[in-house]
Amino acid sequence: MKYESILDKITNTIFKPIIIWAEGSNANWNMLISISFALFAVGIIILFVYFFKMRKYEKRNQIYLNTSVIMLLVLILCDVIFPKEYMWQIFFLFKYAIAFNFSGIYLIVRYK
């Protein structure tokens, strides 16, 4: 008898419908990859734009460190939550897309 932890049950509850939907057809699979890549690209663009806009601030090193901490915490949280057996490449891309977007949102808030 295989025992599942509570975290495994939560992960299966959240990601099982996504996996079933993505494996339903090639169009769904391609849409999932496109969405994850678009989120990744948006996060990278936001980070670069606001890194260059914050050059003139004297507290930029502290802001950059806080941005890195936010990115690290989101990556650790996603490593704990996302499934590791199936579709791990797509969830790997989603993990970094989410981390870059959260740190980019932090930079936008600090800039304003």
CA distances from 77 to 22, 26, 54, 74 (A): 23, 29, 27, 5
If one counts the domains in the chain, the total is 1
pLDDT tens series, the chain, 112 aa: 566 677 777 777 777 887 888 888 888 888 988 989 999 999 999 989 888 888 777 777 888 888 889 999 998 988 888 777 777 778 888 899 999 999 989 888 888 7
Residue written as token pair 């939550």:
81
Decide if 100 is inside a domain.
yes
- 1 occurs within a structural domain: no
pTM for this predicted structure:
0.80
In a domain, 104, yes or no: yes
Residue pair 66/12 in contact by the 8 Å Cβ criterion: no
On whether residue 17 sits in a domain, the answer given is: yes
Residue 94 forms part of a structural domain? yes
In the chain, the amino acid numbered 106 is Y
Q: Which domain holds residue 104?
A: 6-111
